[in-house]
Chains A and B, each alone.
Chain A
Amino acid sequence: MISERDSETTFEEDSQPNDEVVPYSDDETEDELDGGQSGDEPGPKQTSRDAEESRDPTKKDCSWQVKANDQRFYDQPGFKRTIFLCFKKSKYSGNAIKTYKYNPITFLPLNLFEQFKRAANFYFLVLLILQSIPQITTLSWYTTLVPLLLVLGITAVKDLVDDIARHRMDNEVNNRTCEVIKDGRFKNTKWKDIKVGDIIRLKKNTFIPADILLLSSSEPNSLCYVETAELDGETNLKFKMALEVTDRYLQEESALADFDGLVECEEPNNRLDKFTGTLSWRNSSYPLDADKILLRGCKIRNTDFCHGMVIFAGADTKIMKNSGKTRFKRTKIDSLMNYMVYTIIVLLILLSAGLAIGHTYWEQQIGNSSWYLYDAQDYSPAYRGFLNFWGYIIVLNTMVPISLYVSVEVIRFGQSYFINWDLQMYYPEKDTPAKARTTTLNEQLGQIQYIFSDKTGTLTQNIMTFKKCCINGQRYGESVQSLCEQVDFSWNMYADGKFLFYDHYLIEQIKSGKEPEIQKFFFLLAICHTVMADTSDGQLNYQAASPDEGALVTAARNFGYVFLSRTQNTITISEMGVKRTYDVLAILDFNSDRKRMSVIVRESSGNIRLYCKGADTVIYERLHPRNLKKEATEEALDVFANETLRTLCLCYRDISQDEFEAWNKKFTEASLATSHRDEALDKVYEEIEKNLILLGVTAIEDKLQDGVPETISRLSKADIKIWVLTGDKKETAENIGFSCELLTEETAICYGEDTSALLQTRLENQRNRAGSSPHSSLRMNEPFFQGSRDRALIITGSWLNEILLEKKKKKKKLKLKFPRTAEEKKKQSEKRRRAEAYKEQQQKNFVDLACECRAVICCRVTPKQKAMVVELVKKYKKAITLAIGDGANDVNMIKTAHIGVGISGQEGMQAVMSSDYSFGQFRYLQRLLLVHGRWSYIRMCKFLRYFFYKNFAFTLVHIWYSFFNGFSAQTAYEDWFITLYNVLYSSLPVLLVGLLDQDVSDKLSLRFPRLYILGQRDLLFNYKKFFLSLLHGAVTSLIIFFIPYGAYLISMGQDGEAPADYQSFAVTAASSLIFVVNFQIGLDTSYWTFVNAFSVFGSIALYFGITFDLHSAGIHVLFPSRFQFTGTAPNALRQPYLWLTMILSIAICLLPIVAQRFLSMTIWPLESDKIQRNRRQYLLEEQQWKRRQSAFRRGVSARRSAYAFSHQRGYADLIASGRSIRKRRAPLDAVLSGTGTGTGTGSGTGSGDTRDTG
């Protein structure tokens, strides 16, 4: 029992961490250690969160009571909880789910409320209120209201569309039907009407509507197979088994209708693999565990029908409890942007205050004596200054761009669609396009520094294929695939047709039957395993505990040694068409310590033989000294290892009858042992697995997904560090590290113990230097490793725990639970603080160390540790992280990382559901980051820089003007221009740049991964760039004001009619601004499509169109006091001197920018500049471009074991107990029963296994 063993190891103080085991079975909620321990602890446990209590799997918490077929049971007052004042509600939720946020009535108020919770919207609401105060209103109400309404409207529509989709989805799910017992009969009922305590019947291939207790099924022993893909992403079937008593008595409809059992269990929680409770029925009680619970979201498979009782419904189900907390992710730019907006607000307040002081002074000096300004208000200058402060806050509000947030949203939304539409990220085999599930993180994709990748299903396809073998020293399967046609297996009626093999020689050898070794080899593969066969639909299907084993048995099947079926103690094999049944005397099952498994078989001749397969290291120790082919096989092992194939050694041994009987006695004894049974068994196994005769080696390929090595190398060139985090074993992970070229022969690998030692020395050094207090922050940044060797870190979960002091912390917590005096308390907190600082230092050191390595592989890590590693890097490196995975065990990590990517197209949905982006293949990651990420980042940065610029250029003109109007908060433009500037005149071109701009094409982005570094270093948008933008805006505004000032304001106009009046000035300034700002975005645009051209010139045209309309006679006649600029545009803009002024302003604004850009491109060219310049040349090259094949393998390499097996522990117990064997195949059962194979101790062991290793 793995969990038992590991809890021992983790509690033993000085034990070495065990590389083989996953530290402890946890999930994303709580620590097993804590819970398990505190159960024995006397006294109250001081936890603030009541949720914690429900997580304790102790008996006293079984407060959740469910009674079958009795709805009145739940009306008891004990089951009600107060929700609001005196309103009570049952604590049992119904089965209807509700994911939507609004209904038709609440939509408007709720949505508005939510929108005004955003700081920006609230700010504009405050402005609007300020504007309605007559004393300080400086702008018309519509200048703020129109943009605000637009912003609110766009957001509301988006929310509405989202919510409608949610409504639709909820309805679809809630209206599914299944059969429920009502009035003694099964009736079709909608899911939403299912209640706790209902007895339901589920058919094959239907989804399970709630968390139910399995009562009985159509299968023997009430087994029920479920597919948990929706839940944990694992595509293999899992079996659940009902209690014996319910299996026996609850098969009939009437029996089910009369069932009145009471289930007492834990409160609803989110732990998928835990359940504790008891069933009380007919005056006896039966323990319940997770093995008897079918969870909502799973699917019934291979089981015609099953019956169950609803335990948790709707929101109480485990899947719903799990889906609740999605972290709200923000991008780095988001927070930067927020700080910038705050900066601007501070700037705004300072400027307004300055101008208000100016106004006070002016009023004292000039205003008071100007009779023409008399307004009958007896305000002091200081008070007028105060009022003007608010006036300027209103006038200058456009410095904080109202449309900023909504524009950013729109751009990200569009970018997300481009990701969804990308054909090159569409995976045709599974028909899965890429999907940006979160639309708010795109530019962060251009800043990734660390990638945390899952292995199984992400880097690999999780398909094992039998590639090669070495039998009796002779290697087979070597031929080059492209040259040879594949072997024809049609002679074999059992061949599964999907198996590909290219070595015809081996087939000939088998067919000729000359070599007994070859026969033995495949016979071993067919017999030595724990696979179960199933002939549903006339097809022979295997169900294996590990894909490796499945691959081996399938290979044997194709080569003519077909495993047909098994019973408790026999196994039937078709050997080249001849069906034979063998007695299996013992199955010596696999476990990670033994790294091998054996079966002892009595052959037809009566000989007893042991067949064994296992890791080369383990097998070679146990070989008979006189094995002839040892060297040749070892050579084969080397070759296979170099090709990163996973190897297993096969061997056998003949056992005499006496020896077996002697051994069998010990074996029976050991298997009956009550304590340390596993250790005892291991010892017994050891005795018989010796003096083995080597048969050969199998080589299995753990197929990588397409393009994984290329993707990894390209991402590494972009300075992205890739960490592999996997629950798999060290060997497997290392093997994959080599095959995806994360590790090479030159790599110096650093393991857990090395790391631990390094960290220990480092910490001691730090302590010595820092003196007594370890937390006085003395940072030492010298590297851990000398020299520039290529290094990699491979560390297991146990070591990770050890190093990061996760374990020790818990011990302390337990010890120090009950402080007695205040002094003790203080001491304790001091201690804790010191421990905390120590831990922090250690963690920081670890991260520093790990980051010095080119590659990091963490294996045997739990989902929680995966998340912890991500968190560590986030915390200590302040780096942007991306996690990619496909299974439920990656969910935590995906949620923790800045960006989570799910591999979709697999059956499982959980990783995808919690991810921000999803696509079908790992290799699309390079396109997502290097192309879409980079583009998005560049676009967003360009957009933001320009946006701040244009608003400053626009707004600051008011300030320059105020020096000439007595700081009276008079605007430099017409109100309508202010209203429409951000909305209509300047927004479209920059939006299009944000959506469409590309500096270099996608092909070149991929070809030059170093272009990506720009984003990692925040080069395009940071505080420096921000202030430069502001400065640029300020300079532009100066030019826009002072050029007209010099040109004509102090003089007069042409035809004498139009001397410098305010309205003409406003129009001139506005027109030059529109020209400058739109030409500026033209300069910034590096990808001019017709849409861009249209929008730039369209904006200018729109400005003139609207201005002429608003200044027309007609509109003035209709609203004389709203539109006061009648005739200004036509009168002003027919003057040549105004045009000359504007041309001058434009030239002075833009020419220096052109010169500066040209200079920096010439003197300090960026890589993208160079690439852009040489675009044509690359295009030519591209046409002849062929990917370099990494054909050159390294020569002779150091020996390394390529043993890797994803196997944990087989079905031996289940097989031995005979539980799963269908009754109709029973005759075989009866054949032999005398041989002692009673390893199993019944369902308890089998089911216990499944639970504990979860």
Chain B
Amino acid sequence: GKKNYKADGHPSGGVGVPGGGAVGGGGGGAVKTRKPDNTAFKQQRLPAWQPILTAGTVLPAFFIIGLIFIPIGIGIFVTSNNIREYEIDYTGTEPSSPCNKCLNVSWDSTPPCTCTINFTLEHSFESNVFMYYGLSNFYQNHRRYVKSRDDSQLNGDNSSLLNPSKECEPYRTNEDKPIAPCGAIANSMFNDTLELYRIDNDTRTPITLIKKGIAWWTDKNVKFRNPTGDGNNLTALFQGTTKPVNWPKPVYMLDSEPDNNGFINEDFIVWMRTAALPTFRKLYRLIERKNNLQPTLQAGKYSLDIAYNYPVHSFDGRKRMILSTISWMGGKNPFLGIAYITVGSICFFLGVVLLIIHHKYGNRNTSADIPN
């Protein structure tokens, strides 16, 4: 437009009228200054540490990590090697196996098919021995399987006892009666019975297998609880429920001892803690060392009596019995030790490589070649 400039640049009259036209130019307070605060945060001047990956920090770090990892790895490896472990596969798929006859058992075969496997321990097991059963190709981590349980019911909730969660389908009710414990996990509980005998000059001495103390304390005391009610008679408390389809007997008859019966039966609890992988072990029994003079299991001949109830052949599963001692870092597994040694060595090696490279290229960081 035609520019009518005021020569002195000041339109006469109230300059101080706050702005804000029809569309509202935000004028704000006229008196208060809008100067931002001069604080370290607002001016982005917070005191800070600006770490840079320099040779002085990175190289020593690599050497030190290498030097720490290698000994740890060796330690773990040695410990792992000192662990005694013995494993028997008693699935019985091979015709030569004593358990071959039981291969096609069904759930309700009475009396149970039994078989005995003899084995020899080359070395004695010095400390406490843990007895596991192991299953292979058993997908306890399948989503459909994992969710098929009702933790409220297992926690002793009375309403859930009689009205289990829908997640338990199709093992929720049987013949219009609620199943306790409901769900596929409980239904497929491992029910082989394993007994261990030491054979000494043709005499079979049974080895005491402790069945308590194999579950997590929290599981036994918090997560799993029997329903509450008048009295301690489990039979009465489970009144109105029925046993899982595959079970030979109801849950309140799992054991004779009252503190290991019903939902708090430890074998049951161990089973209910589902495994991460399709090949897994679960703790079955403990063999405690009696005294300091004798090893827990001497080298020698043993026999394992199996009441073979659990069918795995249909899905190509395997069943094993494992005896193992335990160290501070767990069962026998060389992986962790080897991994530590490897990583430590690589670290050390990398440190050397980086050192060489640093010597070769390290002077590239001078300021001289930065265009201003």
Contacts and interface: CB of A to CB of B under 8 A. Distances in A.
Contact of A1056 (B36, B280, B286): B286
A1158 B58 contact: yes
Contacts of B155: 1116-1117, 1120
A207 B343 contact: no
Given A376-B170, A965-B139, A1169 B2 contact: no
B216 A1058 contact: yes
B21 A230 contact: yes
B5 A546 contact: yes
Given A372-B187, A376-B170, A965-B143, A1088 B23 contact: no
Interface string A158-171: 00000000000110
Interface stretch (B40-48, B116-124, B228-236, B249-257): B40-48
Contacts of A913: 23, 25
Interface string A500-537: 00000000000000000000000000000001001011
Interface stretch (B91-99, B269-277, B292-300, B301-309): B269-277
A1127 B333 contact: no
Contacts of A1144: 336, 339-340, 343
A667 to B, nearest CB: 24
Contacts of B58: 1154-1155, 1158
A4 interface: no
B290 interface: no
Contact of A1169 (B69, B279, B350, B365): B365
Given A426-B35, A1131-B216, A1140 B361 contact: no
Nearest to B46: A1089
Given A545-B5, A1047-B336, A1159-B354, A1062 B152 contact: no
Given A421-B42, A542-B8, A1052-B331, A970 B141 contact: yes
Given A1054-B329, A1172-B50, A1059 B280 contact: yes
A498 B8 contact: yes
A237 B354 contact: no
A370 B25 contact: no
A1236 interface: no
Interface string B226-250: 0000000000000000000000000
Nearest to B283: A1056
Contact of B11 (A237, A1063, A1162): A237
B283 A1059 contact: yes
A679 interface: no
A1088 B34 contact: no
B144 A373 contact: yes
A664 B42 CA distance: 70
A912 B25 CA distance: 9
A232 B274 CA distance: 74
Contacts of B215: 1057
A422 B216 CA distance: 58
B361 A237 contact: no
Interface in A1047-1088: 1047-1066, 1086-1088
A1174 B367 contact: yes
B143 A964 contact: no
A431 B10 CA distance: 18
A1053 B283 CA distance: 10
B220 to A, nearest CB: 10
A1121 interface: yes
A28 to B, nearest CB: 15
A370 B141 CA distance: 13
Interface string A1151-1179: 10011011101110101011111110110
A204 interface: yes
A1065 B276 contact: yes
Given A235-B11, A366-B315, A1065-B276, A1088 B51 contact: yes
A301 B42 contact: no
A541 interface: yes
A534 B137 CA distance: 102
B367 A1170 contact: yes
A1048 B5 contact: no
B68 to A, nearest CB: 10
Contacts of A227: 11
Interface stretch (A12-20, A548-556, A626-634): A548-556
A1054 B278 contact: no
Contact of A1046 (B11, B13, B69, B335): B335
Contact of B13 (A273, A301, A1063): A301
A1120 B225 CA distance: 11
Contacts of B130: 1056
A1043 B339 contact: yes
Interface in B128-155: 128, 130, 132, 137-146, 148, 150-152, 154-155
Interface in B2-28: 2-14, 17, 19-26
B36 A432 contact: no
Nearest to A1163: B361
Contacts of A542: 6-8
A1069 to B, nearest CB: 10
A1208 B371 contact: no
Nearest to A1088: B49
Contacts of B277: 964, 1045, 1049-1050, 1060
A372 B280 CA distance: 16
A418 B45 CA distance: 11
A1237 interface: no
A1116 B343 contact: no
Contacts of A1008: 370-372
A546 B6 CA distance: 8
A756 interface: no
Contacts of B48: 1087-1089, 1092
A770 interface: no
* List of 10 A-B pairs having minimum Cβ-Cβ separation, nearest first: A1127-B218, A550-B7, A376-B170, A542-B7, A230-B21, A1051-B333, A372-B188, A1056-B130, A421-B42, A1065-B276
8 contacts: A97-B23, A418-B42, A422-B43, A554-B8, A1054-B328, A1057-B216, A1126-B218, A1162-B361
Given A421-B36, A1053-B331, 19 more contacts: A230-B25, A238-B2, A319-B22, A369-B316, A423-B43, A539-B12, A909-B19, A965-B141, A970-B143, A1047-B335, A1060-B281, A1089-B49, A1117-B222, A1126-B219, A1140-B76, A1162-B354, A1165-B364, A1178-B367, A1249-B2
